[in-house]
Amino acid sequence: MNLERSRALQRAAEALLPGGVDSPVRSFRAVGGEPRWIARGEGAWLVDADGNRYLDYICSWGALLFGHAHPPVLAALARAAQAGTSFGASSPLELALAESVHRMVPAAEMLRFVNSGTEATMAAIRLARGATDRMGVIQFAGGYHGHADVFLAQAGSGLATQGLAASAGVPPEAVTHTHTVPYNDAAAVERALRAHAGAFAAIIIEPVAGNMGCVPPRPGFLAALRHLATQHGALLIFDEVMTGFRVAAAGAGAHFGVAPDLITLGKIVGGGLPCAAYAGRAEIMRQVAPLGPVYQAGTLSGNPLAMAAGLATLEAIAAHPELHAELERRGAWLQSGLEAAIAQAGVAARVQRVGSMLTVFFSEKPVENFADAGACDRAAFARFHQALLERGVMWPPSQFEAAFFGAAHGDAEIEATLQAAAVALRAAAG
Ligand code: KE4
């Protein structure tokens, strides 16, 4: 596979961008591979700077539900761009997308657009703290809510201790109130709530974890969090930046029948443009400036290009009511094909999936939390990733990431993926 252009671009970029990337995971350091520089996307396919084609299972980290360069999205962008790119004032497309989100997502009684998932979750925590006049936050090990200081905490040595900074540059006081507990462990949440009664503003969770690999909630786990949050006066925040519009048109909360107090959305809501939102019960959202005392602002929030791309995407979902059922069928086919190839290769691996997000974990046992994910055979995953790449399949370059597919992954694409995976799983077996 000729990688000359990618190599040259990577080398030149390393002189200007830390690691040659604008986001760490793109460096391929987790798998020891050579990052590909992408020239364009076409439906389910990526084409790199050397002309090599890959079936894409990153899908802009879940942002693309209809594939790359989806014609209705491009047409909407072209129309919007003709009128200008940003006005620094409200424009009709913001209201149109807000109405779409409000219609599709039950938890979104009111909402505010921002430009990234990090902004959305950071604002949601500030809002929860302002609305409850409490500072404590419970998050889950292996969850990722963006890079705001408050989340860059790791569990202290024992439950009742305070969070410890998980990144250089995060002041200890920024994570003092952040408590990190194991995913799928409602008892640990209850112990933290009791150990610091009245201290917690929020419990924030990915209702389907995607940032340690795909880890579904155990039956009853989300409902238990709902009960505990209500009982202890904390707000339940579903971080649906990844799962929103993917796990179901109405989001994972609706899919599992659990209603959060606040929800964050991103990725799909912007159709591949920088756009995210925080939303929730109206009486909480009315605490946000200029109505209330919780400040948050953004130059490009609600910009017409992101609104146009998001609106075209949500309109496409609304126009295909059978979409998620079809994605479930394709996901089941992909999963059973991968499981057959795992058995054939005799490799210790398993597939965990919710709808069109999935992970091949190199683990004998089910992965139910971050400790389980951390015990996976990452060297085997790296061999799997490299072998797929060589066969034209771009899988997320980390064992701790979810893979995504969408409406552009048809029968031919799934077939081709399974053929490449059969070889890659044998390579993973070593
Ligand atoms: P951004 O700030 O990257 O737009 O969103 C942060 C975020 C918040 N919440 C959840 C559940 C997320 O998955 C993310 C971002 N997801 C990662 C993929 N694991 C982004 C990829 C990257 O960091 O390059």
Cα distances (angstroms) measured from residue 47 to each of 6, 33, 38, 371, 382: 11, 17, 6, 36, 22
CA of 63 to the centre of ligand 1 (A): 10
Report the run of H or E that residue 354 belongs to, with start and end: strand 350-354
CA of 272 to the centre of ligand 1 (A): 13
List Cβ neighbours of 229 (8 Å cut-off, separation of 6 or more). 203, 235, 236, 261
Q: What angle do CA 51, 54, 55 make, to 5 degrees?
A: 150
Q: Of 357, 368, 309, which is closest to residue 335 (Cα–Cα)?
A: 357
- Note the pLDDT of residue 430: 86
CB of 121 sitting under 6 A from ligand 1? yes
CB of 146 sitting under 6 A from ligand 1? yes
> Which ligand 1 atom is at minimum distance from the Cα of 211?
19
What are the phi and psi torsion angles at 131 (to 5°)?
A: -75, -30
Contact 111, 277 (CB under 8 A): yes
CA of 24 to the centre of ligand 1 (A): 11
CA of 241 to the centre of ligand 1 (A): 7
pLDDT classification of 165: cutoffs 50, 70, 90:
confident
Sheet holding 357-361, edge to edge: 350-354, 357-361, 403-404
User: Does residue 290 have a cis peptide bond before it, meaning omega lies within 30 degrees of 0?
Assistant: yes
**137-153 pLDDT, tens digit each:** 999 999 999 999 999 99
Q: How far apart are CA 173 and CA 27, in angstroms?
A: 31
In the numeric block, the tokens 């995913």 are attached to 183
**54-67 pLDDT, tens digit each:** 999 999 999 999 99
The whole model's pTM is what? 0.97
- Note the pLDDT of residue 164: 77
CB of 143 sitting under 6 A from ligand 1? no
Closest residue CA from atom 20 of ligand 1: 61
Give me the sign of the Cα torsion angle 276, 277, 278, 281. Answer: negative
pLDDT classification of 155: cutoffs 50, 70, 90:
low
Segment 203-228 mean pLDDT: 98
Beta-bridge mates of residue 352 = 359
Q: Is the pLDDT of residue 279 over 80?
A: yes
- Note the pLDDT of residue 159: 44
> Which ligand 1 atom is at minimum distance from the Cα of 121?
8
Look up residue 146 and give its DSSP letter: -
**81-134 pLDDT, tens digit each:** 999 999 999 999 999 999 999 999 999 999 999 999 999 999 999 999 999 999
CB of 139 sitting under 6 A from ligand 1? no
CB of 353 sitting under 6 A from ligand 1? no
CA of 55 to the centre of ligand 1 (A): 21
Q: How far apart are CA 349 and CA 395, in angstroms?
A: 16
Mutate which of 242, 245, 358, 399 for ligand 1? The one with the most ligand atoms within 8 Å of its CB, which is 242
Q: Amino acid identity, residue 315? A: E
CA of 376 to the centre of ligand 1 (A): 22
CB of 393 sitting under 6 A from ligand 1? no
% of the chain beyond a pLDDT of 70: 98
- Note the pLDDT of residue 160: 45
- Note the pLDDT of residue 163: 75
> Which ligand 1 atom is at minimum distance from the Cα of 118?
2
Report the run of H or E that residue 170 belongs to, with start and end: none
Contact 371, 19 (CB under 8 A): no
Segment 380-406 mean pLDDT: 97
Cα distances (angstroms) measured from residue 328 to each of 42, 68, 162, 178, 220: 22, 20, 41, 36, 22
- Note the pLDDT of residue 244: 98
Q: How far apart are CA 276 and CA 402, in angstroms?
A: 19
Q: How far apart are CA 287 and CA 261, in angstroms?
A: 14
CB of 117 sitting under 6 A from ligand 1? yes
> Which ligand 1 atom is at minimum distance from the Cα of 240?
11
Give me the domains of the chain, ranges plus CATH numbers.
4-69+322-428 (3.90.1150.10), 71-319 (3.40.640.10)
Segment 255-263 mean pLDDT: 98
**174-198 pLDDT, tens digit each:** 999 999 999 999 999 999 999 999 9
Q: How far apart are CA 258 and CA 225, in angstroms?
A: 9
Q: Is the pLDDT of residue 162 over 70?
A: no
- Note the pLDDT of residue 410: 97
Start-end of H helices in 59-162: 59-62, 71-82, 92-104, 117-132
Report helix, strand or coil for 188.
helix
User: Mind telling me the catalytic residues?
Assistant: 144, 239, 267
